[in-house]
Structure 1
């Protein structure tokens, strides 16, 4: 009590740098160790951060680690999380919670039995962008929400990522990679989802790496790379989702929410801030001043939020919320392959709003 949460990172790839930068300015979190299958990479990060470089096995059982930050590839999320939980550690992982729903449920059940916590990215929804939009909806500025749209279009991560293989394997694809930002934002704004319909396709069987030492190499594509669907929220609102690695660009807003008396443009849910635009019935577009959320946030604020959450309460970026988001996405993929309306079996409590902090 009153001491910083001691964090050990497993996986020191590209995303770890953003967490490391954030941890330097969070008082409630202290990095104590790092590990990676590439020992040279973890050694370099450890030297730069002034912490210990351990093997994965050593870190998962280290008595000075309270929480394991799991930044491995999606296929390894569940295995690392379960091993950490078995050692009595809480876990916070990159999205998705696991590569499939059964593994995700196993992680949550193991954590409950062990009495430890599970948190999961994305924590971008805790920033001023999505939280200000939620405040506007909660305050009735758009009236009863009717619909939302969420659009993410890119030609694919292989253009910039030096090791993009996992984006095109089970657990990847535009929906499971980028969808968590958008679906988590939609659930945060409009509440849990009860059913989905959808369709999916892919245009290429291989992708060519565009940068780094493997530039020019091809990687196989084993997942659909364009997914679209409609999410029916328990509130009655309908969200239309478009996630693509097959197109070039879009000028559409990342997320829009439409109500009976107003419409909102919500900033990119892959970022923590950004302008929220409101158009009220009979008025015109105006920018809302930030009214909720963590200011100047970065990846890792979800870990700090977990550290500050009292015992017995769910952190805002909780494993349960991540499980529901994964259920929504995997149900959408099922709907796309069966041409049926697919129920979403799980639900999630709407996390409490973040005061302007």
Structure 2
């Protein structure tokens, strides 16, 4: 790098830093401006999955404040209603919000919203679920999530895997991540298990998943189900209830999202594992992208997904042996959160403290 180039790079860095400090203020003394230019929209898709309200939203808000004291997060949850989410999206734009982090209810429909937003100078960060044409995309590696789920189910089955009959309850088909989870899980399971005896979508709804599980028991037979793949923890709750109602015990049941209820079922023994997608990684990365876009600072993407600058994070399998070293260590939950009176003895056995 010659001297002229080096001076240009240093000068650009100084200008970028000055812009950041000017717009957001430094710790202990930011600007008093609360105009629309400092507002960032956060729209999440549903509240049946507990993690969005309990983990993603607060972590996103904290991360925005860490990077920009004067920034304000304007939040809404679509409660699985795509029409409601479109109204929320349009209202943010009408209110002058310039960057929106969008966890879409329906990714195909959201692609059209992105085009409308771009025409009005509004940028969109696709949050957790990919959206065609978005300005950035932040998620975990969702194909890998599915692979990890399938591999964890195989590990739980052990030597029984080769003849095992599996029930798969997948996520909502409108969610592009659900397709990736399913694809990754199939890649891990096919050829390694006896057969996938029943497969259906649980639509990310515990009630629907429980109904599909009951249908699977009726179709396959009470004594002919060896393990259940559940695309997330919320549905795993409905599935476990359906299994208990059918008198089926002690078979592996997987999940995803490391919800508190899922972790508690792992402690109790009715669920075998979950996939931890740390909001300490996901939400702050999305918040970083959103703040940088607001300031006109180039985002730090690591890859490109369908033409969209992206960052894909690594998921982690959590079972009874790793609760303490993952969700407790990271401060997502305390032992008091997990270990109810009924679970205290079991928590002690597992070293959860």
Q: Flag whether TM exceeds 0.5 (same fold).
A: no
Q: Bigger relative contact order, structure 1 or 2, given CA contacts below 8 A and separation 6+?
A: 1
More strand by share: 1
Q: TM-score, normalised by structure 1?
A: 0.38
Which of 1 and 2 has greater Rg?
2
